[in-house]
Chains A and B, each alone.
Chain A
Amino acid sequence: MPTATIPALPLLEDYPEGSVLPVEGADQPTWIVRREVLSRLALELRDNPETQFDLMLDLCGVDYPDRDERFEAVYHLYSLPRGERLRLKVPLTEADPVLPSLIDVWSACDWFEREAWDMFGIRFEGHPNLRRLLTHEAFQGHPLRKDYDPARRWILTEDKIYRPDPQPPGGDTDDDIFERMTINIGPSHPAMHGTFRVVACLDGEIIVASEVEIGYLHRCFEKMSETHTWQQVIPYTDRLNYCSSFINNVAYCRGVEQLLGIEPPPKAVWARTILSEFSRIMDHCVCNGTTLVDTGALTNFWYMFQPREEIYGLLEACCGARLTVSACRIGGLLQELPPDFEARCRNLLETIPAFISDVDKLITKNRIWLDRSVGVAAISGEEAVNRGWTGPCLRAAGVAYDVRKAHPYDLYDTVDFEVPVFQGGDVNDRFRVRMAEIEQSLSIIRQLLDRGMPEGGFIVDDPHVALPPKEDAYTQMEAMIYHFKLIMDGIQVPPGELYSMVEGANGELGFYIISDGSGKPYRIKVRPPCFPLMATFSRLMNGGTLSDAIATLGGLNVIAGELER
């Protein structure tokens, strides 16, 4: 497991003895912080020029029932100017699981704090709206606590459903041109992509206040991963962002591989990079295609969906599935690549650009599209960072943060590519960033193909991690035993914890993995890239028209499976 040095920060000297304790030997700088100093420390970490932790990536709870201080709230911070990471852990007792809310420091904390309350019952003092976020209104208890039975359900009846009534601050004013009207959109509404619910207070066509309700697809991924072996979690990761499931596979497997201290063979790394880029293209196609449909440009949807259908063909050849691929294994890939892998890839490289350029010609300078998108739902880079944005949406607002460049993994440090950045931060720029990224992805794939497929196996040669070949399992005693052990007991991951990240199609996709050595994950927290985006949706809608809200949601590319897990 990689270890990191703890930066000797001068600011720590001002804190009472024992209130901030660095942890030795962690995968990234980690401090244990007493809650009394948390607010002050957070503000200082953000503003001190020596630290500048401006991005709050993730906040989650962890439950250790055997400890005196049962809960731990874990913050993952990132400093964009310095490229450094920091983890803060705040221990809390069961009797008094209360923390100060950090919304004022990082607005990103808003929904993350609600989630931690919902899942663990950690209370955040000063949070303006500490309601449950993912589970429903009739739910009792906090499901990610270790003593909560994974299958214990609560039934929601119609009369218990929460009915939000958003009102603009200041109440009724005389400025209103029309009578106020509150409307409900979703959860089963095509423009809400089937699973979100927005309640908007309208003045004519203008949204003056709104509230977003999610959790309609909360499928308990994190609880499920605690009840399955390490390999069995892979199919669950597919179903996070199901538009680019391969990238999720890679992110998860990389994390576990680092905990195990193994390296996948070069061929697997090569194929992972190529397929990740194809998945990114697919994801961008779906996002841009649906945004255009939502704004009425249906033709482009067909143009954007055809490359996707063709990439499905490639994935199907590699693993047999189109959508939920599960094509990675811890230590490598599921199986040998098909013999025509390179030919298929090259074929795709030739066909995809035509579709992209068709859409480009139809849309990029299209008057109607420009009217619908330029200046709509704009956000400044600074605000986007404070709200925890990453990925294409952040790059559309002028901040060039891309995990593939800032912290290269797989083969990204060996290829030439640019990180497209636009300045407007509006719907149009989000669209353009994605179009430009498709080009970059194609170029990455081309460079890798030119290099040729590396020789060797597709998975590590380690019987404790990789299943032995089927023929051997049938004919050799030893191979059969290994096969049996791996299927029955799973991979044995040593105790430890780690945050591993990749650039998902939608931003930084992180897996915070804790192992206690028991053969199953102790805790897996996904840092879903679209979570902070969706948390900002209400702010982006307010002040715009209802139709702008629809165009905005498409461009944020919020995937419910990943958002709500």
Chain B
Amino acid sequence: MIGESWVTTTVDKLEEWGQNNSLWPLPFGTACCAIEFMSVVSSHYDMARFGYEVVRFSPRQSDVMIVAGTITDKMGPTLKRIYEQMPDPKWVVSMGACACSGGFYRAYHVMQGIDEIVPVDVYVPGCPPTPEGLMYGILQLKEKIKRDTRRRLKEKRADSDDSGSAAA
């Protein structure tokens, strides 16, 4: 029994480490925030330092969607579709006031926050957030992923303990 769980833990740890350090972001940039997003990925701020190296424009190849910019009602279905196309596990970072809450556009054509249609893991405030702000956000996401995998791990272990005692 002990041997078995020891093996699972290590693979999970390895998986967690890998997940955490090689996040492939999908930039869903629409507006002004996307311009600041470009600053973050280019040489000066260099997001690659934190493992967000490979920016992918295909949802099938990415695991974190960074929504940068205002999402309108017209764009909504597209955003949702792209989110659904991403393979699990997946995360969403909402960059900027608009993506978080509609920002200062309390208006007839603007979605009042993308959490109306997709689950959001990290909200980064600002209009636009500073590059430092976004970097803090993506570091928070790494923390969250770590926590999540820990919890998953614990649950798994509890599950296997349960089933173990049931069998006994």
Residues of A that sit less than 8 Å from B by CB: 134-136, 139, 143, 148-158, 161, 187-190, 194-195, 215-220, 223-224, 235-236, 238-239, 242-243, 286, 302, 305, 309, 322-324, 560-561
**B72 is contacted by which of A143, A217, A302 (Cβ under 8 Å)?**
A217
Given contacts A224-B105, A309-B44, contact A156 B76 (CB under 8 A): yes
**A219 is contacted by which of B44, B70, B78, B128 (Cβ under 8 Å)?**
B70
For chain B, residues 29 to 47, give those with C-beta under 8 angstroms from any C-beta of chain A.
29-32, 34-36, 38-39, 42-44
Can you spell out 29 A-B residue pairs with CB atoms less than 8 angstroms apart?
A135-B108, A143-B109, A150-B106, A150-B108, A151-B106, A152-B108, A153-B109, A155-B73, A155-B76, A187-B75, A187-B78, A188-B28, A188-B78, A190-B57, A194-B28, A215-B74, A216-B30, A216-B75, A217-B70, A217-B75, A219-B105, A219-B110, A223-B108, A224-B107, A236-B104, A302-B43, A305-B38, A305-B42, A560-B30
> A323 and B36: CB pair below 8 A?
yes
Min distance, Cβ B112 to any Cβ of chain A, angstroms? 8
> A156 and B106: CB pair below 8 A?
no
A residues in contact with B82, CB < 8 Å: 188
**B109 is contacted by which of A135, A188, A195 (Cβ under 8 Å)?**
A135
> A157 and B75: CB pair below 8 A?
no
Given contact pairs A135-B108, A217-B69, A239-B31, a sample of 16 additional A-B residue pairs in the complex whose CB atoms are under 8 Å apart: A143-B109, A153-B73, A156-B73, A158-B81, A195-B31, A216-B72, A217-B70, A218-B109, A219-B72, A219-B105, A219-B107, A220-B105, A220-B107, A220-B110, A236-B104, A286-B35
> B110 and A189: CB pair below 8 A?
no
B residues in contact with A157, CB < 8 Å: 77
How many angstroms from the CA of A223 to the CA of B29 in the assembled complex?
Answer: 24
- Grouping DSSP codes into helix (H, G, I), strand (E, B) and loop, the B interface class, with mixed when no group exceeds half, is loop
**B32 is contacted by which of A143, A239, A309 (Cβ under 8 Å)?**
A239
> B74 and A194: CB pair below 8 A?
no
Min distance, Cβ A288 to any Cβ of chain B, angstroms? 15
Q: B127 at the A/B interface (Cβ < 8 Å)?
A: yes
- Of all chain A residues, the one with the shortest Cβ separation from B128 is A323
How many angstroms from the CA of A194 to the CA of B29 in the assembled complex?
Answer: 6
Given contacts A158-B81, A188-B82, A220-B108, contact A322 B36 (CB under 8 A): yes
Given contacts A194-B29, A324-B32, contact A220 B128 (CB under 8 A): no
How many angstroms from the CA of A305 to the CA of B41 in the assembled complex?
Answer: 12
For chain B, residues 108 to 164, give those with C-beta under 8 angstroms from any C-beta of chain A.
108-110, 127-128, 130
A residues in contact with B79, CB < 8 Å: 188
Min distance, Cβ B17 to any Cβ of chain A, angstroms? 30
A residues in contact with B105, CB < 8 Å: 219-220, 224
B residues in contact with A151, CB < 8 Å: 106-108
> A302 and B42: CB pair below 8 A?
yes
> A136 and B74: CB pair below 8 A?
yes
- Of all chain B residues, the one with the shortest Cβ separation from A189 is B57
A residues in contact with B30, CB < 8 Å: 194-195, 216-217, 560
Centre residue among A135, A158, A195, A219 by max chain B CB count within 10 A: A219
> A218 and B128: CB pair below 8 A?
no
Given contacts A136-B109, A143-B109, A220-B108, contact A309 B39 (CB under 8 A): yes
B residues in contact with A223, CB < 8 Å: 107-108
A residues in contact with B76, CB < 8 Å: 155-156
The 6 closest A-B pairs by CB, nearest first: A220-B107, A136-B74, A242-B32, A216-B75, A158-B77, A194-B30
Given contacts A148-B108, A239-B32, contact A218 B74 (CB under 8 A): yes
Interface residues on B, range: 35 or more
Between A and B, how many residue pairs show CB distances below 8 Å?
A: 116
Residues of B that sit less than 8 Å from A by CB: 28-32, 34-36, 38-39, 42-44, 57, 69-70, 72-79, 81-82, 104-110, 127-128, 130
B residues in contact with A154, CB < 8 Å: 73, 108
Min distance, Cβ B109 to any Cβ of chain A, angstroms? 5
A residues in contact with B72, CB < 8 Å: 136, 215-219
How many angstroms from the CA of A143 to the CA of B79 in the assembled complex?
Answer: 24
> A324 and B77: CB pair below 8 A?
no
A residues in contact with B75, CB < 8 Å: 187-188, 195, 216-217
How many angstroms from the CA of A148 to the CA of B107 in the assembled complex?
Answer: 11
> B39 and A194: CB pair below 8 A?
no
How many angstroms from the CA of A158 to the CA of B82 in the assembled complex?
Answer: 12
Min distance, Cβ B46 to any Cβ of chain A, angstroms? 12
A residues in contact with B42, CB < 8 Å: 302, 305
Given contacts A151-B108, A158-B81, contact A560 B74 (CB under 8 A): no
A residues in contact with B70, CB < 8 Å: 217, 219
> B74 and A242: CB pair below 8 A?
no
How many angstroms from the CA of A323 to the CA of B134 in the assembled complex?
Answer: 15
B residues in contact with A220, CB < 8 Å: 105, 107-110
A residues in contact with B78, CB < 8 Å: 187-188, 216
- Of all chain B residues, the one with the shortest Cβ separation from A243 is B35
> B128 and A324: CB pair below 8 A?
yes
How many angstroms from the CA of A149 to the CA of B75 in the assembled complex?
Answer: 21
B residues in contact with A195, CB < 8 Å: 30-31, 75
A residues in contact with B34, CB < 8 Å: 194
A residues in contact with B109, CB < 8 Å: 134-136, 139, 143, 153, 218-220
B residues in contact with A135, CB < 8 Å: 74, 108-109
> B104 and A242: CB pair below 8 A?
no
